[in-house]
């Protein structure tokens, strides 16, 4: 017997299917998906690998074939559908198959040692009885052992030794007489280890009669699940429409039928609140993969999934790789969330992988959002996804919050400064007097990297791409220039004109969370303020702690970046302020408007979740622009119609695929030199391609963050008809360039500019 294996974490040179011989004693135990240790290379270093296929014969040079070193896990670590996806994932995300295996088999699995125990069993009850009857045995210990085994059956040697106070040698003596047999086996995992410290609360387990539109969605999805036709549903429901209830009802059905569910949520929403609530509703068969788990806990969760004990897997994007048994449903809640896309190699998208897995297994995919990504909504418009809509809030008494645009130009004239407008300040005072809370949202992305018109608050935008241009300081000649990150268009900053009002006075407008915090202490000296941003959440657990403090009402104001907008539920928060809303649009990404709309909607969803109606203020220098109008009236379709026009006009997704190549080097001169070589190569290569691929290439363009961890970075943007055309270019670059001399990263779905 032979097997083909892939080395876990293989680099490109070793990313092959290697053949090994399966020694006789492992035949039957080594299966497709088994994790094995294999001797590799000249020195026979042991490497971790996964068996992809078994074969009876091998037609190569048998003398060179080595034996598998050992079997590292008693059960296979990958299921058939996972093995079937490896090749596709490596193709689509430009990584090695070994790296895909690494994603699927996390290190907690590799590092886990099956606790082996020695069990003792009788070879034959008959013989044992005969020997006891014949009174041939002299040793009382021997007699006791046999009687114990006759009475209770197979047990561990440890149990025998403690119960009977006998020794291992005495057990061994019986083995030598041919009366008992010793076997090494994996001890039964303690299932109770799954239980976490989180306490279930009654309100979390409440069930509802579904509203008609919820019921309709559940019925449609369940039909899809039963048909096993790998359909994708887009559940488009306003905030508070009860999407979660739909997910839970579908998940319940799958569990009842014996199947399993992968339920993905943005990492940030994996709060203890959410976890205990899902467990409360779906029972013990839930495995949760969150970042606070220790390696041991993570392994336990993973093992419960693999053995089929866990039927519902709740986790962030990496959960899409879980070894679910008989997978019938994958849910992506808040499908538009950028955390579903990995920002480090391999740059995979959990949404793409969910769809791929659905094609392999026939399972159903449900994408849920109040603000679907433009790409997903477009797919639903084209009937690639089935659209399901929830148009009403689930709880009758819950009303949508009022969203009020505030003109900051006027506020500054009134003398209230550029941080807190008068109406927001007043609403906060009223809320605090009623023992309610407020959240202030400040988007720091793009902060002080863009120039904002002093008169109208508009960022300087690219004349070709209408995204905000990014400010770069040249360290060579001390000048400042503005650069577009999509086409590379560059403008000396003194030549900038506001595209809205023609003004030429600009500022690096904006303030940070710390400045805001200090300001709040002056305005509301008696209120406690909590701040959640990158700085205050550096230590593990800090994020959770801040949320808990705010939920326990230890502070009345929570300020933070976009991370506070997602999935949190504070019943006593009645006021939300979105500060510096213009800066959201000033990000250099083509998704800026989409992200702004999503953020405002989510932030608004935070207000008035309890019994009190909420109020939301959007502070902007240009509150009349369409995006803010649509956001204030919560008119997703109007937003979508405008956005899809813009994407079409500029050949952006979903009409064309965009790819990004980033070249990074510690030596700036070399970087520029090599970027130019790469530019020439790309232009030459693409000019020979079939026009049907509609290749466009831009660059080299300095990255938005030009200097990162001691490296300088230049990027290229490629547009083409689809992702596979983009990937074919990436493949050529991987093949033709020395990746040590040209350290490049490839992304066929860049999310942020």
- Given Zn ion, ligand ADP, none, residue 286, with its beta carbon under 5 to 8 Å by kind, binds none
For the record, the structure tokens of 148 come out as 């114990």
679 binds Zn ion (CB under 5 A): no
Angle at 187 between CA 185 and CA 192, to 5 degrees: 160
348 binds Zn ion (CB under 5 A): no
- Given ligand ADP, Zn ion, none, residue 678, with its beta carbon under 5 to 8 Å by kind, binds none
Residue 704: what are its φ and ψ, rounded to 5°?
A: -50, -50
The residue among 355 and 395 lying less far from ligand ADP, judged by its C-beta, is 395
Q: In sequence order, what are the beta bridge partners of 180?
A: 122
Among 251, 465, 573, 607, binds Zn ion (CB under 5 A): 465
- Given ligand ADP, Zn ion, none, residue 52, with its beta carbon under 5 to 8 Å by kind, binds none
| Displacement of CA 177 from its chain's centroid (Å) | 58
With contacts defined by CB under 5 A, name the span among 140-148, 481-489, 549-557, 705-713 that binds Zn ion.
481-489
Instruction: Provide the greatest CA pair distance for the chain.
Output: 110
- Given ligand ADP, Zn ion, none, residue 749, with its beta carbon under 5 to 8 Å by kind, binds none
Taking the complex as a whole, how short is the minimal distance between the CB of residue 469 and Zn ion, in angstroms?
A: 8
Taking the complex as a whole, how short is the minimal distance between the CB of residue 474 and Zn ion, in angstroms?
A: 19
406 burial (CB, 10 Å; 0-12 / 13-18 / 19+) is buried
- Given ligand ADP, Zn ion, none, residue 118, with its beta carbon under 5 to 8 Å by kind, binds none
Taking the complex as a whole, how short is the minimal distance between the CB of residue 397 and ligand ADP, in angstroms?
A: 9
- Given Zn ion, ligand ADP, none, residue 465, with its beta carbon under 5 to 8 Å by kind, binds Zn ion
Taking the complex as a whole, how short is the minimal distance between the CB of residue 69 and Zn ion, in angstroms?
A: 55
- Given ligand ADP, Zn ion, none, residue 271, with its beta carbon under 5 to 8 Å by kind, binds none
The residue among 58 and 204 lying less far from ligand ADP, judged by its C-beta, is 204
Map tokens 């993973």 to a residue: 302
How many CB atoms within 10 Å of residue 707?
13
The residue among 446 and 605 lying less far from ligand ADP, judged by its C-beta, is 605
- Given Zn ion, ligand ADP, none, residue 342, with its beta carbon under 5 to 8 Å by kind, binds none
Among 2, 204, 489, 500, binds Zn ion (CB under 5 A): 489
- Given ligand ADP, Zn ion, none, residue 619, with its beta carbon under 5 to 8 Å by kind, binds none
Taking the complex as a whole, how short is the minimal distance between the CB of residue 542 and ligand ADP, in angstroms?
A: 25
If you ran DSSP here, which 8-state letter would residue 82 be given?
H
With contacts defined by CB under 5 A, name the span among 112-120, 311-319, 329-337, 458-466 that binds Zn ion.
458-466
Q: Smallest Cα–Cα separation from 559: which of 541, 538, 573?
A: 573
Taking the complex as a whole, how short is the minimal distance between the CB of residue 626 and ligand ADP, in angstroms?
A: 25
Taking the complex as a whole, how short is the minimal distance between the CB of residue 341 and ligand ADP, in angstroms?
A: 21
Q: In angstroms, rounded to a whole number, what is the distance separating the alpha carbons of residues 677 and 687?
A: 16
- Binding flags for Zn ion, 28-47, as an x/- string (CB under 5 A): --------------------
716 binds Zn ion (CB under 5 A): no
Helices of type H across 578-667: 581-585, 592-606, 626-632, 636-649
- Cβ pair 619, 404 in contact under 8 A: no
Among 452, 462, 532, 679, binds Zn ion (CB under 5 A): 462
Among 174, 438, 484, 557, binds Zn ion (CB under 5 A): 484
- Given ligand ADP, Zn ion, none, residue 208, with its beta carbon under 5 to 8 Å by kind, binds ligand ADP
Long-range CB contacts (within 8 A, 24+) of 134-142: 139/170, 139/173, 141/166, 141/167, 141/170, 142/170, 142/173, 142/174
- Given ligand ADP, Zn ion, none, residue 254, with its beta carbon under 5 to 8 Å by kind, binds none
The residue among 214 and 593 lying less far from ligand ADP, judged by its C-beta, is 214
Rounded to whole angstroms, what are the CA distances from 282 to 257, 393, 723? 14, 23, 38
- Cβ pair 448, 512 in contact under 8 A: no
Among 167, 215, 464, 666, binds Zn ion (CB under 5 A): 464
Taking the complex as a whole, how short is the minimal distance between the CB of residue 377 and Zn ion, in angstroms?
A: 25
The residue among 242 and 372 lying less far from ligand ADP, judged by its C-beta, is 242
How would you classify the pairing of strands 312-315 and 327-333? unpaired
How many CB atoms within 10 Å of residue 463?
12
The residue among 247 and 447 lying less far from ligand ADP, judged by its C-beta, is 247
- Given Zn ion, ligand ADP, none, residue 241, with its beta carbon under 5 to 8 Å by kind, binds ligand ADP
655 binds Zn ion (CB under 5 A): no
Q: What does the buried/exposed string (b/e) look like for 4-27 if buried means 16 or more CB atoms within 10 Å of the residue's CB?
A: bbbbbbbeeeebeebbbebeeebe
Rounded to whole angstroms, what are the CA distances from 451 to 455, 485, 536? 12, 15, 27
The residue among 241 and 593 lying less far from ligand ADP, judged by its C-beta, is 241
- Given Zn ion, ligand ADP, none, residue 89, with its beta carbon under 5 to 8 Å by kind, binds none
- Given Zn ion, ligand ADP, none, residue 237, with its beta carbon under 5 to 8 Å by kind, binds ligand ADP
- Helix (H) and strand (E) counts for the chain? 23, 30
Angle at 665 between CA 660 and CA 670, to 5 degrees: 110
Angle at 60 between CA 59 and CA 61, to 5 degrees: 130
498 binds Zn ion (CB under 5 A): no
Q: Which residues bind ligand ADP (CB under 6 A)?
A: 208-211, 214, 237, 239-245, 394-395
Taking the complex as a whole, how short is the minimal distance between the CB of residue 249 and ligand ADP, in angstroms?
A: 10
Beta strands, E only, 163-215? 180-186
Taking the complex as a whole, how short is the minimal distance between the CB of residue 396 and ligand ADP, in angstroms?
A: 8
DSSP 616-635: EEEEES-TTSHHHHHHHTT-
- Cβ pair 248, 174 in contact under 8 A: no
Q: What does the buried/exposed string (b/e) look like for 568-582 if buried means 16 or more CB atoms within 10 Å of the residue's CB?
A: bbbebbbbbbbbbbb
The residue among 464 and 683 lying less far from Zn ion, judged by its C-beta, is 464
Taking the complex as a whole, how short is the minimal distance between the CB of residue 368 and ligand ADP, in angstroms?
A: 7
Q: What is the CA radius of gyration of the chain?
A: 31
Taking the complex as a whole, how short is the minimal distance between the CB of residue 492 and Zn ion, in angstroms?
A: 16
- Catalog residues that contact Zn ion under the rule CB under 5 A: 462, 464-465, 484, 486-487, 489
């Amino acid at each position: 017997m032979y097997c083909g294996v892939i080395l876990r974490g293989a680099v490109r040179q070793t990313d092959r299917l290697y053949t090994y011989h399966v020694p006789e004693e492992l035949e039957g135990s080594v299966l497709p998906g088994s994790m094995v240790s294999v001797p590799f290379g000249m020195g026979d270093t042991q490497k971790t690998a996964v068996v992809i296929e078994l074969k009876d014969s091998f037609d190569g040079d048998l003398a060179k074939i080595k034996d598998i070193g050992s079997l590292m896990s008693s059960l296979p670590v990958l299921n058939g559908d996972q093995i079937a996806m490896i090749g596709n994932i490596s193709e689509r995300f430009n990584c090695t198959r070994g790296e895909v295996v690494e994603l699927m088999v996390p290190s907690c699995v590799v590092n886990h040692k099956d606790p082996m125990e020695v069990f003792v069993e009788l070879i034959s009850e008959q013989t044992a009885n005969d020997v006891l009857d014949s009174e041939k045995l002299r040793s009382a210990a021997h007699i006791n052992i046999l009687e114990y085994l006759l009475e209770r059956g197979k047990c561990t040697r440890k149990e025998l030794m403690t119960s009977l106070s006998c020794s291992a040698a005495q057990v061994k003596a019986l083995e030598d007489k041919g009366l008992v047999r010793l076997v090494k086996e994996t001890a039964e995992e303690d299932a109770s280890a799954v239980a976490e410290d989180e306490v279930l609360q009654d309100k979390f387990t409440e069930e509802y009669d579904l509203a008609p539109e919820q019921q309709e969605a559940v019925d449609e999805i369940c039909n899809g699940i039963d048909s096993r036709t790998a359909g994708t549903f887009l559940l488009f429901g306003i905030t508070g429409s009860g999407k979660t209830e739909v997910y839970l009802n579908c998940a319940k059905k799958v569990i009842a039928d014996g199947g399993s569910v992968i339920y993905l949520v943005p990492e940030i929403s994996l709060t203890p609140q959410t976890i205990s609530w899902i467990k409360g509703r779906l029972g013990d068969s839930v495995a949760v993969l969150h970042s606070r788990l220790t390696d041991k806990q993570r392994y336990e969760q993973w093992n419960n999934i693999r053995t089929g004990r866990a039927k519902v897997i709740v986790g962030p994007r990496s959960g899409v790789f879980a070894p679910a048994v008989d997978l019938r449903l994958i849910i992506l809640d808040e499908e538009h969330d950028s955390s579903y896309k990995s920002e480090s190699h391999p740059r995979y998208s959990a949404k793409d992988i969910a769809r791929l897995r659905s094609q392999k297994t026939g399972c159903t995919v449900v994408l849920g959002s109040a603000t679907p990504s433009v790409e997903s909504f477009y797919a639903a418009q084209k009937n690639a996804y089935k659209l399901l809509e929830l148009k009403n809030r689930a709880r009758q008494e819950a009303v949508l919050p009022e969203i009020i645009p505030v003109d900051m130009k006027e506020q500054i004239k009134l003398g209230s400064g550029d941080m807190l407008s008068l109406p927001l300040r007043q609403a906060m005072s009223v809320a605090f007097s009623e023992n309610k809370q407020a959240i202030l949202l400040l988007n720091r992305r793009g902060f002080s990297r863009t120039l904002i018109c002093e008169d109208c608050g508009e960022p300087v935008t690219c004349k070709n791409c209408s995204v905000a241009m990014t400010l770069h300081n040249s360290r060579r000649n001390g000048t400042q220039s503005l650069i577009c990150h999509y086409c590379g268009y560059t403008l000396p900053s003194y030549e900038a004109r506001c595209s809205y009002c023609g003004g030429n006075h600009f500022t690096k407008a904006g303030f940070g969370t710390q400045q805001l915090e200090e300001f709040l202490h002056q305005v509301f000296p008696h209120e406690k303020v909590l701040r959640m941003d990158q700085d205050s959440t550096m230590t593990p657990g800090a994020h959770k702690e801040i949320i808990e403090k705010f939920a326990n009402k230890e502070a009345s104001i929570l300020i933070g970046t976009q991370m506070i907008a997602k999935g949190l539920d504070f019943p006593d928060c009645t006021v939300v302020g979105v500060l510096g809303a213009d800066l959201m649009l000033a990000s250099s990404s083509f998704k800026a408007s989409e992200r702004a709309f999503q953020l405002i909607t989510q932030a608004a969803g935070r207000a008035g979740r309890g019994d009190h109606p909420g109020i939301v203020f959007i502070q902007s220098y240009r509150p009349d622009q369409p995006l803010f109008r649509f956001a204030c009236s919560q008119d997703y379709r109007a937003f979508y119609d405008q956005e899809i026009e813009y994407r079409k006009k500029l050949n952006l997704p979903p009409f064309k695929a965009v790819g990004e190549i980033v070249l990074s080097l510690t030596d700036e001169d070399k970087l520029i030199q090599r970027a130019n070589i790469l530019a020439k190569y790309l232009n030459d290569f693409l000019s020979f391609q079939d026009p049907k691929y509609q290749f466009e290439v831009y660059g080299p363009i300095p990255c938005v963050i030009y200097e990162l961890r001691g490296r300088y970075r230049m990027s290229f943007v490629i547009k083409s008809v689809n992702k596979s055309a983009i990937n074919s270019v990436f493949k050529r670059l991987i093949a033709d360039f020395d990746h040590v001399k040209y350290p490049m990263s490839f992304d066929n779905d860049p999310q942020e500019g």
